Structures are given as structure tokens and as C-alpha cells.
Amino acid sequence: MIDIVFCVAETKAALARSAFTLEIDMTKSPLLLTRRSIFQVGAGIVASAAVSPLVGPDAAQAEEAQPTTQTPLNGDGFYRFRIGDFQATVISDGYGQLPIRPILAMNVSEAELAPVLEANFMQPVIQGTSNMLVVDTGRERILVDTGFGEKLGPSFGNFPGLEANLHRAGITPESIDLVVISHGHLDHIGGLVTKASAPAFSKAQFVFVDTEWNYWTGSRYESEVNSSPMPDPFKKGTIEAARDNLPAVANRTRFVKQGGEITSGVHYIAAPGHSPSHATILFTSGDEQFIYMGDIAHNPVTSLQHPDWTPMFDYDPAQAIKTRKAILDRVATDRIMVMGYHFPFPAIGHVVRRDKAYHWEPAMWSW
């Protein structure tokens, strides 16, 4: 159990650091460059009416015949929506307080940050969130990323909430068929296993980008994490999560090339920089597309309005900026609905081009 307190000194060296040269230009995905999408949004309207004393007996009997148990409304740690014929559910892993600078903007001065905060009605310390995605394709139930798990102590916010919120949404861990991982950071692989080091999703197969798995099970990650600008407790947790959790699921893990098909209607899209082989995930059902952005963008203001601002968790900041701009440009141009892992719950919406940067339009809430 690790207690995390964000008290960090800035480091300029991290901004210029690039641990190694990537062999694949993973910002250019032929899949996205050639496929245009029209995302049709349908909104249901839930109306409620008070029962009048003038209601007739037939109507009264019909009302009494309604089932007493109903599907829980969106909002209690989960949020349902659709991607074409796929049923999707955002699941919250919790929240905690974090300072925007330097955590989300380590290359920005206080003088540069202050007017941005004022213009967006933000405080210097905000509530950070983590949100997973469950997608039912009709063939299998897919969970994308697993949150902090038991690798984070109680001093930083309200984590982990994945298991409790899955149950609130009526989803049991045993019902997950496929666990897809975007990258190997603590807050994405921490929930792969239980306290007893058993797989948390007992019937699932696990999927990683092959080169991302190779990095986090190789010999370089520990020294490179320790030399990064991450807070020390996060360094420790990240190293422990890779060391303890990945071997526990190795014999049930399948590896996919960057840009490759995970399963029917689901593809990895290369998005390196935040981690060596970080990937976003594209879901396609009929004419509709949806992109789980992972950590290419951490916050609607710092990442979209200021895509050159660097969070302190980026492995290769220069590459991460290049990737962020490329992905944001594509989803804005193609009007693809997206999800930001650390965006305010439920973390789904659209990226809109504004001036030389972007703006976040959250999806209209539907109960």
C-alpha cells in the first residue's frame, strides 16, 4: 500500500528527455486517416409525471404491475451510453486532489498559468479523476484499463472504486471476457490483480500492445521511472505494479501489434509519448466510431486549449505533444466522440477546433 502526496520539484531536464528512438511512427494510423465517421447521437428523454387521483382503475393496475426493481440511473459511479449497436459504460475508479502545476503543466510558469485558470473558472488545485470503459459488443464484454487497484494508499483521494462501481452498474468481474490495456502506468494496470495477487478478472483474457508489454517486463523501466519527474511514491507504485501485476497475468495475455485489431470492431491506434508504446483504442459499430483516448490528454483545459503543456508523467514529452496534436486534429476533423481517462466524469464528449487549439464539448447528460 502506497501513500501518495503530490509535493514535487520541477525539472527542466525531463522535457528534453527521450529514452529511446521508437521504431514505429505510431502517430500515423492508416485506419484513421482513411476512415471518416459520422457519429450520430441519439438522446432519449425521460419524462416523469405525478399520478392524479383521476387515474382510472386500468391505469392503476398497469402501474402496480410494473416491476419493483429497475435499472439504476446513470450517475452513481457509472454512466451508460451507446456506440452504434455496442452498449458502453464508463466506470469511475475514484478521484483525488492534484495541483495543476506542475502535475499537468510542468513546463508552464505561474504567470502563464494564472490567466488560464481565471478564464476557465479553475483553482490551482483541482479534482483529478480516473475512468474506465466497459463495452458490450454482443459477442464479448470488454474492460479497458483497470485503475489503481490496491497499489495506492488512502492519502490521495478516493481510490480504488472500480470494483464497487462495476457492481453498482450490474457488472461482475467474472463477466468480463477481455481486459484491454492502453499502457503500463500504475493507474491503468494497478487493478489487474487482487491483494492476494490473483487476477481480478478471473475469466478474462488480457490484451497489451506487444512493445508496451516488452518495455514494462524488460530491464530498463525501473531505472527510467526512477529518473523521471514523477512524484517518488508514484514511481514506487508504478515499478511495483509492473513487477507484481504483469507476471500474474502473463499466461493469459495476448499481444497485438500497434494499430492492430484487438477483436472485431476494436483496434489499437498508436499514440506514443506518454509511455513508450501508449495506444488509444478505436471502437467501430456500423457507421459510428468512438475513441478511448487514454492519457494523450489529461484535462480539457490544459491538454486541449494548451496542447504544448506537458504533464509530468509523459515518458517522452516531445513525442507526446506530437501525438496529442495529431489525435486531437483527427477526432476534431472527423467529429468522433471520445473519452478522456482523466477528464471529469463521465469523461465523454467531442473535441472542437478553436483558434489554434481545441475546446471540449462534453456529451449531453442522459439519465
Close Cβ partners of 298 (under 8 Å, ≥ 6 residues apart): 104, 311, 340, 342
Sequence-ordered alpha helix ranges (H) in the chain: 13-16, 30-34, 57-64, 100-103, 110-119, 162-168, 186-189, 210-216, 221-226, 232-249, 317-334
Strands (E), the chain: 78-83, 86-99, 125-136, 141-144, 178-180, 205-209, 253-256, 261-263, 266-270, 279-285, 288-292, 337-339, 348-354, 357-362
> How far apart (Å, rounded) are the C-alpha atoms in residues 363 and 343?
12
Taken in order 113, 115, 116, 121, the sign of the CA dihedral is positive
182-142-169 Cα angle (round to 5): 110
Can you give the pLDDT at residue 154? Answer: 53
Backbone angles phi, psi at 33, to 5 degrees: -70, -30
Can you give the pLDDT at residue 195? Answer: 84
Written as nine digits, the cell of 237 is 507504485
Q: How many residues belong to the chain? A: 367
Partners of 67 in the beta sheet?
Answer: none
pLDDT tens-place string over residues 146-202? 999 987 655 566 788 999 999 999 999 999 999 999 999 999 999 999 988 899 999
Any idea which residue has 452498474 for its cell?
169
Q: Is 146 strand, coil or helix?
A: coil
Written as nine digits, the cell of 329 is 486534429
Q: Is 100 strand, coil or helix?
A: helix
Can you give the pLDDT at residue 159? Answer: 83
Can you give the pLDDT at residue 298? Answer: 97
Backbone angles phi, psi at 267, to 5 degrees: -135, 145
Can you give the pLDDT at residue 31? Answer: 45
Residue type, 282: L
Sequence-ordered alpha helix ranges (H) in 169-209: 186-189
Q: How far is CA 62 from CA 45, 48, 58, 71, in A?
A: 21, 16, 6, 19
Can you give the pLDDT at residue 123? Answer: 96
> How far apart (Å, rounded) are the C-alpha atoms in residues 149 and 146?
7
Closest CA to 104 of 86, 117, 88, 93: 117
Rg (alpha carbons) of the chain, rounded to whole number:
21
Close Cβ partners of 204 (under 8 Å, ≥ 6 residues apart): 143, 176, 177, 178, 179, 252
What is the end-to-end Cα distance of the chain in Å, rounded?
Answer: 36
Counting as low any pLDDT under 70, the low residues of the chain are 1-71, 152-157
Can you give the pLDDT at residue 127? Answer: 92
Closest CA to 271 of 222, 227, 315, 309: 315
Partners of 185 in the beta sheet?
Answer: none
